[in-house]
Every structure is written in structure tokens, then in C-alpha cells.
């Protein structure tokens, strides 16, 4: 299956693409062996996912091992009778040297497109140098996507902190599991707040296991449709396929004003 032949997700959410997963076995805190990785791929395929990005934490794997691991996993999947396609990527921690790492060939983008899955520290203050790094990456032709935005403490307290990033053209990703009943504390109200105000552009699984944070998207898209409307959920569903095809996402204007999420989270 050629990735450029994957159509945008249609009504009913066929041809789903998952841009964030830790399905590559024996690398990080995701799939710990081949059997687990194949179970994860089967769960994803059963949910309607036709392609999934393997995005191991970049500090846990040498860049040259990513393509080798993805090729091997695709071979194992085909031998197991699966049709889902695994594409390369990494989840990259924010750092001041990302441009230098890109120039040296040490950054693995999503399916080797211009898009880079970028995370910031889950604890501590919001990094002041994030806008500068985004500008530097953009100048290099790299388009960062902010990973699991709803999990950051500062976003949960002040969701409007994302407005400048969105204005700069940075797509915002939230985890599918954060829209489930088992979401970690604060994640679901934050994710719903972001959806309600059109601050979400990608829903991905960030899958680590077939059962714990599994690679499923459909249930989260149903929640997105309830919170932000079916048309917006359909648009989100199609964006991941556009990303792995290297197409430019046009981000909508947020719905303003954004109410602080603290009051809602006090009841979680």
C-alpha cells in the first residue's frame, strides 16, 4: 500500500492514520517484544487504522535503528497476515540543538516528511525558549507538531498558552486515551477544553500497549464529534493522513475566549 494513495478519512472514519505510537519493540517504554508489537498492530487495524507511525523516544534509539526497526516490524506484520503499514518517526524532546541535529541527519521526522513530533517536559514550567526553537525549525523547513498537549500542567491550567504556537502554525496533538473514562487526572477536561475551542488538530494514540493506552482512535473521534461537532471531528480524522503524505495543514481560527480549565478539573 502506497502512503500517497491513502485518502483522507471519510465519513465513518475509514483509512485512519495514527501519528504517535510506541509500537517499535524493545526500544523504550512501549512494546517490550515482537508479540506485544504485533498485538498492538492488530488492535489498531481492527479499529480501522491503515497506517501507524512508530515514534519511539528519540533519546532511546539511534536514528539509523528506526528505519531498520520499522522495516522489520512491517515484515513481521505481513507474515502475521496484517495489512496495516508502519512508517518511521520519533518523539523528540524539546532542546536548543534540534536544528543542529537535523542538519546532521539525527532527527527522524514523521514518514520522512517535514513534520516532527515534538514534546516538552511534562513537569516544570512551560519552556520559555519553545517559540525560538519553533522559529528555528520553521526556518529549516521542519514543521513541529506538539505532542499530547493536554498532559502538560501549564496547558491544563492555562490552555490559552497554546494560542501563540497555533498562530505560528504548530498543529496540536492530543492523545485518544485522554478522551476516555480512564484518562489520567486532568487530561480529559483539558482535552475537551482544547477541542471545544478548536485548539486540537490531530488525535493520536501515543500507544504503549495493547490494553494500556491502546492504539485506538475511533472512540476518541466520537467524543470529539460530541464536543466540537461532527464536521470538526471529520477534519481532525483526515489530518493525520495529510501529515504522513507531507501535505500542509491549514489550522482554523480558535474559538475565543478560552475559559481557564481549573474549575472543571477541581471535580475530576
Q: Cα separation of 194 and 156, whole Å?
A: 9
Q: Write down the pLDDT at residue 11.
A: 52
- The position carrying cell 528506526 is 66
263 φ/ψ angles, rounded to the nearest 5 degrees: -60, -40
pLDDT at residue number 23 = 98
- pLDDT for 239: 97
The pLDDT of residue 180 is 87
Does 266 score more than 80 pLDDT? no
Share of the chain above pLDDT 70, in %: 92
Q: What is the pLDDT confidence band of residue 259, given thresholds at 50, 70 and 90?
A: low
For residue 231, pLDDT over 90 is answered with yes
Fold of 14-265: TIM Barrel (3.20.20)
Looking up cell 501515543 gives: 206
pLDDT for res 265: 41
| Residue at grid coordinates 502538560 | 152
- Split at pLDDT 50, 70, 90, the class of 49 is very high
- Using pLDDT thresholds of 50, 70 and 90, give the confidence band for residue 124: confident
Banded pLDDT at 171 (limits 50, 70, 90): very high
Other residues' Cβ atoms within 10 Å of the Cβ of residue 95: 15
Q: Is 263 exposed, middle or buried (0-12, 13-18, 19+ CB in 10 A)?
A: exposed
pLDDT higher than 80, residue 120: yes
Q: How many residues does the chain have?
A: 268
- pLDDT bin (cut points 50, 70, 90) of residue 12 is low
Q: Which three cell numbers stand for residue 120?
A: 516538552
In whole angstroms, how far apart are CA 123 and each of 33, 151, 154? 29, 9, 9
Integer Cα distance of 185 and 142 in angstroms: 32
Q: Would you say 23 and 40 are in contact if contact means Cβ atoms under 8 Å apart?
A: yes
207 burial level (CB within 10 Å; 0-12, 13-18, 19+): buried
Helices (H), the chain: 34-46, 63-79, 98-103, 130-139, 153-157, 163-167, 187-196, 218-228, 230-244, 262-265
Q: Is the confidence at residue 45, as pLDDT, over 70?
A: yes
Phi, psi of 4 (to 5 degrees): -75, -5
Split at pLDDT 50, 70, 90, the class of 181 is confident
For 91-113, write each residue's pLDDT tens digit: 999 999 999 999 999 999 999 99
- Determine the Cα–Cα distance for residues 102 and 143; give it in Å rounded to an integer: 12
pLDDT at 248 over 90: yes
Q: Dihedral of CA 57/58/61/63: which sign?
A: positive
Vertex 159: Cα angle to 214 and 141 (nearest 5): 75
Q: How far apart are CA 162 and CA 176, in angstroms?
A: 19
Longest dimension (CA), the chain: 52
Amino acid at each position: 500500500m502506497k502512503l500517497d494513495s491513502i485518502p483522507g478519512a471519510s465519513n465513518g472514519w475509514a483509512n485512519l492514520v495514527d501519528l504517535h505510537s510506541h509500537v517499535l519493540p524493545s526500544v523504550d517504554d512501549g512494546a517490550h517484544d515482537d508479540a506485544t508489537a504485533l498485538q498492538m498492530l492488530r488492535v489498531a487495524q481492527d479499529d480501522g487504522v491503515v497506517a501507524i507511525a512508530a515514534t519511539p523516544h528519540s533519546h532511546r534509539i539511534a536514528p539509523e535503528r528506526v528505519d531498520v526497526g520499522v522495516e522489520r516490524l512491517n515484515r513481521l506484520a505481513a507474515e502475521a497476515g496484517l495489512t496495516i503499514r508502519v512508517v518511521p518517526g520519533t518523539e523528540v524532546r524539546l532542546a536548543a540543538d534540534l536544528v543542529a541535529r537535523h542538519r546532521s541527519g539525527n532527527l527522524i521526522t514523521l514518514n520522512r516528511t517535514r513534520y516532527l513530533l515534538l514534546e516538552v517536559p511534562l513537569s516544570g514550567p512551560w519552556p520559555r525558549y519553545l517559540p525560538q526553537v519553533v522559529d528555528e525549525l520553521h526556518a529549516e523547513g521542519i514543521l513541529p507538531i506538539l505532542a499530547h498537549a493536554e498532559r502538560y500542567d501549564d496547558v491544563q491550567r492555562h490552555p490559552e498558552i497554546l494560542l501563540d504556537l497555533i498562530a505560528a502554525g504548530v498543529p496540536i496533538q492530543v492523545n485518544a486515551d485522554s478522551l476516555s473514562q480512564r484518562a489520567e487526572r486532568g487530561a480529559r477536561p483539558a482535552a475537551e477544553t482544547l477541542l471545544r475551542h478548536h485548539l486540537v488538530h490531530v488525535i493520536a494514540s501515543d500507544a504503549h500497549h495493547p490494553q494500556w493506552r491502546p492504539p485506538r482512535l475511533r472512540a476518541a473521534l466520537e467524543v470529539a464529534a460530541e464536543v466540537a461537532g461532527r464536521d470538526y471531528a471529520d477534519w481532525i480524522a483526515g489530518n493525520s493522513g495529510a501529515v504522513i503524505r507531507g501535505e500542509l495543514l491549514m489550522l482554523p481560527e480558535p474559538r475565543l475566549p478560552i475559559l481557564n480549565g481549573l474549575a472543571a478539573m477541581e471535580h475530576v
